[in-house]
Amino acid sequence: MTRWPLSYTISLVIALLAFFPVIILFALASDSVQMFDIRNLEILSNTLLLMLFTAVGAVLIGVPLALLVTYVKIPWRKFWLILLAAPLALPSYLGAFTFYAAFGTGGEIENVTGIATPALNGLLGSSVIMALYTYPFVLLSTRAALSSLDASQVYAARTLGMPLLSSIWHVVLPRIRNGIAAGTLLAAMYALSDFGTPAIMGLDTFTREIYVEYNSFGLSQAAMLSLQLLVVVGLILYLESKVKGSQEPPGRHLTFWPKPWQANLLLLTTLPIVMLAIVLPLAIFSLWLWREGTGNFDFTYALNSAYASLLAAFFAVILALPLAYAAIKGTMGRIMERITFIGFGIPGIVMGTALIYAGLQLPFLYQTLALLILAYVLRFLPLAVGTIRSSTESLDGSLVNAARVLGASPKEAYQRITLPLTMRGIVAGGALVFLEVMRELPATLLLGPIEFETLATYLWRVYEAGYFGRAAIPGLILIFISALGLALMFSTERWNSVELNEEEQR
Amino acid sequence: MQRRTFIKTLSYLGAASAFPFLSARGFAAISSAIPVAELPELKGELTLYLGRGEGGLYEDVLDAIKKRNPNFNLRIRRGPTAALANMIMAEAKAGVSQADLFWAVDSGAIGQVVDAGLAQKLPGDLTQQLQPEFRFSHWAPISGRIRTLPYNPDRISAAQIPDSIMALPDTDLSIAWAPAYASFQSFITAMRLIEGDKATTHWLKGMKNKTKQYAGELGVVMAVERGEVDLGLANHYYTLRLKSGKPDARLALAFTKNDAGCLINASGVLALKEGKTATDFIRYLLSKEVQTYLSTEAYELPLAGQLPTPAGIPNLAQLSPPNVDLTKLADLRPTINLMRKAGII
């Protein structure tokens, strides 16, 4: 490294900010000697297997769906994209709970239809549910990577007689490995830090140890165990950084034009996903709504959710840009980018408490909306950084160099070449942050302004009390608002876009 | 057996209101609960940290208090009980105290904050309104919950359930429990205080192979109702609430005698800042109207005055809860260690 670019300085400040709550955890953990009991290998292996199965499941669902909504000309393509991304806005504990209530002997499916279903629990149950509520990470990051690919190589392969599926396998997928990996990393980290789903499914994981400590007022023990969890986080961060995609100039967009029956058949295959991840929970809640009657729901909760999420998505993207840019500049930048990921692997309630301590350092901001948004941004920065970085990475430097040779300043080259070409990644990153904030709970409860109620906190309240019928309407509104937010974001996607890349403008 | 028939009759008739609330032990003078009409008007503003939501029910109580006192503004922060307790301690350390009151569903969390010296002493006439065994200087219990054995009458009969919680490992019943749940841990703490560490460890180890684990006690009650197990260990109100939504639910309640198995624990409130409004607010929570509402709608045990227990629960004269100082239940650490040692958590 010969010089210290501007993006490094900005990134360093942001990375330190994002890392600050983790430093607080170190301070909180300092008076604890609690170590993870290595004899308890079952819990460790449960945790690692859950992480692995979730990652595999999210890829198996997310990548084909990304191919479908990016390359295949289907009617209402944006609608399907938004619908298929929406499960990310539903808290996974609600999904897990409705799955528990629906399946098995005496479950709601049997009560209503008379069809006996096997109970869903343990490692299998947790993995299925976790994959259903994390695949949008992979879907959105893969889509961002796919849409900047040049189709010519696929056409060449097809012309030379390669069947369609193997040309996707051999020609498309290897070039977007980093995009897939960026989403998979997030799914794996989510699986690592989530508490509700494995608890409801009766699976003992690392997070359960942490919650038992936290709830029995062992904050320092919980902090210590959370820090030990970071060993696993570090390992997957390292593995993901080894995945490389290809660098190439953007080109023509690949499009498949299926016959109507083929398109319908393809859409039909997505039906089980939509049914399980969205329709089933809402149907179960509606059933209970019908049984119990409704509660006092206030529509301002939905507005609060929407604007807090949009603000967080906006600022997360702004902060993520220099980090993503620094990450492809050199090793130091890469390290700073990785640092921002660490907080995402820490269980929410422990992180929430660390953020209280951080927030108390700024008494004038404590319990204001500004602090809450800052907490969201710092916590979910990796969602934006990952997708933006993976779409920036695949950019071929020659275009920027050409612009520079033609007399553009670095700033102009960034604004006119790099930024438009990474727009899909930026929107995907913003969308991920938006959806994740919609369902975020601990920080909202602990750091928000007093009386600041969102859809997620309301859902939690009725869930805690056992009044599930009252979750039906807010659950539906959560999906609806998420869809609106996504529609808004995806509409900015074409802003300043490169013509070559759009099949609509051939 | 007569007792169980009685309980059953009660739960069918919902006639508990016909029986006066009598304490099993103390007959010290308890004033009858004070009606709201006799309470001073609340003025000014209070900030309440409310541990766990309990749905619209505590909310309904708070709304009613707000409505009755137009010159009073109540600001509420809701959160998981342990998280709010940690938050209160963090705020106190930083000198940025926000809350005037802390209302928690778990007496353990109350104990933590009281032990940290952050709670204000309550006036004597306020604590006098409570049942004698629920009088504490720095916090006021609001409503009680009793440990119960919900069972599935399609699978087992009441006669198969032992009268002693300690005899449970020697039965051939399959049992649901939620060891990670705070109320369960308080129950084990009570067992530890009554029976000693050795007997408790023995009990936990004996139970280990008979039990199926659930995340929370609603899950336990649902599992019993679905017939996944014969019997469960849970707070009483989960059964009553499930039955209110599903009257034909295959669920009945059994109680053990004079041991940790029928411990009465309490939700409670404490004042973090001095002030008349804060203590007056607590008086509202102990009023006849609020206590009756919590009993009839949330199925919790009223602790102030002499009010009837919720329908489906026998009055306290029929039950024999153990004599345990609730503030001692905050001593969770040894319990957690014991449960770890027994391989339960």
Closest in B56, B83, B84 to A295, CB measured:
B56
Q: What is the mean pLDDT of residues A399-407?
A: 88
The token duo for A374 is 């800052």
Q: What is the pLDDT of residue B17?
A: 34
For residues B223 and A311, what is the distance between their CA atoms, to the nearest angstrom? 42
Q: What is the pLDDT of residue B70?
A: 93
pLDDT confidence tier of residue A498, bands split at 50, 70 and 90: very low
The per-residue pLDDT for range A335-364, each reduced to its tens digit, is: 999 999 988 888 888 888 898 998 898 888
Could you give the angle at which helices A280-292 and A472-491 cross, rounded to 10 degrees? 140
Query: Is the model's pLDDT at A402 over the cut of 80?
Result: yes
CB atoms within 10 A of CB B100: 22
Residue A104: list chain B partners with CB under 8 A: 226, 228
Q: What is the pLDDT of residue A59?
A: 96
Mean pLDDT of the residues in chain A: 86
Q: What is the pLDDT of residue A294?
A: 66
Residue B75: list chain A partners with CB under 8 A: 450-451
The token duo for A298 is 């206030």
Residue B246: list chain A partners with CB under 8 A: 291
A201-205, A326-330, A496-500: the lowest-pLDDT one: A496-500
pLDDT confidence tier of residue A206, bands split at 50, 70 and 90: confident
pLDDT confidence tier of residue A72, bands split at 50, 70 and 90: confident
The token duo for B260 is 């940790």
Q: How far is B80 from chain A (nearest CA, A)?
A: 9
Strand B234-235 with B72-79, pairing: unpaired
The per-residue pLDDT for range A105-142, each reduced to its tens digit, is: 778 888 888 888 888 888 999 999 999 999 999 999 99
Q: What is the pLDDT of residue A39?
A: 53
For residues A349 and A357, what is the distance between their CA atoms, to the nearest angstrom? 13
Using the Cα atoms of residue B214, residue B216, residue B219 and residue B224 in order, give the sign of their dihedral. positive
Q: What is the mean pLDDT of residues B323-327?
A: 87
Q: How far is A301 from chain B (nearest CA, A)?
A: 14
Residue B247: list chain A partners with CB under 8 A: none
Closest in B57, B96, B238 to A360, CB measured:
B96
Query: Is the model's pLDDT at A298 over the cut of 70?
Result: yes
Burial A449-473 (b: 16+ CB within 10 A, else e): eeebbbbbbbbbbbbbbbbbbbbbb
What's the length of chain A? Answer: 506
Q: How far is B57 from chain A (nearest CA, A)?
A: 9
Query: Is the model's pLDDT at A313 over the cut of 60?
Result: yes
Name the amino acid, one letter, at B285. Answer: L
Q: How far is B27 from chain A (nearest CA, A)?
A: 34
DSSP class per residue in A137-173: HHHHHHHHHHTTS-THHHHHHHHTT--HHHHIIIIIG
- CB of B50 within 8 Å of a chain A CB? The answer is no
Q: How far is A212 from chain B (nearest CA, A)?
A: 6
For residues A465 and B303, what is the distance between their CA atoms, to the nearest angstrom? 21
The token duo for B263 is 């411990």
Query: Is the model's pLDDT at A416 over the cut of 50?
Result: yes
Query: Is the model's pLDDT at A506 over the cut of 50?
Result: no
Query: Is the model's pLDDT at B2 over the cut of 50?
Result: no
Q: What is the mean pLDDT of residues B148-176?
A: 95
The per-residue pLDDT for range A218-234, each reduced to its tens digit, is: 888 889 888 888 888 99
Query: Is the model's pLDDT at A444 over the cut of 80?
Result: yes
pLDDT confidence tier of residue A35, bands split at 50, 70 and 90: low
Query: Is the model's pLDDT at B120 over the cut of 60?
Result: yes
- CB of B290 within 8 Å of a chain A CB? The answer is no
Q: What is the pLDDT of residue A501?
A: 45
Q: What is the pLDDT of residue A496?
A: 47
pLDDT confidence tier of residue B22, bands split at 50, 70 and 90: very low
Which chain B residues in 121-180 lie under 8 Å from chain A, judged by CB atoms?
Answer: 180
Taking an 8 Å cut-off on Cβ atoms, the answer to whether B219 and A105 are in contact is: no
Which has more pLDDT, A502 or B335? B335
Q: How far is A429 from chain B (nearest CA, A)?
A: 29
Is CATH 3.10.440.10 what the domain over B146-263+334-341 is classified as, yes or no? no
Mean pLDDT of the residues in chain B: 86
What percent of chain A is predicted at pLDDT more than 70? 94
- Residue A464: C-alpha distances to residues A100, A197, A471, B78 (Å): 16, 14, 11, 11
Taking an 8 Å cut-off on Cβ atoms, the answer to whether B75 and A451 are in contact is: yes
What percent of chain B is predicted at pLDDT more than 70? 90
Fold agreement between B17-144+264-324 and B146-263+334-341: yes
This prediction's pTM: 0.85
Q: What is the pLDDT of residue B56?
A: 56
Q: What is the pLDDT of residue B6?
A: 31
- Return the residue of B nearest to A110 by Cα: B226
Taking an 8 Å cut-off on Cβ atoms, the answer to whether A446 and B79 are in contact is: yes
Protein fold of B17-144+264-324: D-Maltodextrin-Binding Protein; domain 2 (3.40.190)
Taking an 8 Å cut-off on Cβ atoms, the answer to whether A363 and B94 are in contact is: yes
For residues B124 and B106, what is the distance between their CA atoms, to the nearest angstrom? 23
What helix, strand, coil percent values describe chain B, rounded to 5? Answer: 45, 15, 40
Which chain B residues in 181-200 lie under 8 Å from chain A, judged by CB atoms?
Answer: 182, 185
For residues B166 and B169, what is the distance between their CA atoms, to the nearest angstrom? 7
Q: What is the mean pLDDT of residues A169-193?
A: 91
Taking an 8 Å cut-off on Cβ atoms, the answer to whether B54 and A105 are in contact is: no
pLDDT confidence tier of residue B16, bands split at 50, 70 and 90: very low
Which has more pLDDT, B32 or B112? B112
The per-residue pLDDT for range B33-92, each reduced to its tens digit, is: 888 888 999 999 999 999 874 445 687 888 899 999 999 999 999 888 888 999 999 999
- ipTM over cut 0.90: no
A242-256, A484-498, B249-263: the lowest-pLDDT one: A484-498
Q: What is the pLDDT of residue A124?
A: 92
DSSP class per residue in A5-20: -HHHHHHHHHHHHHHH
- Domains along chain A? 6-30+42-505 (1.10.3720.10)
Closest in B56, B94, B219 to A467, CB measured:
B56
Could you state, in order of their start, the residue ranges of all structural domains in chain B?
17-144+264-324, 146-263+334-341
Residue A462: list chain B partners with CB under 8 A: 53, 55-56
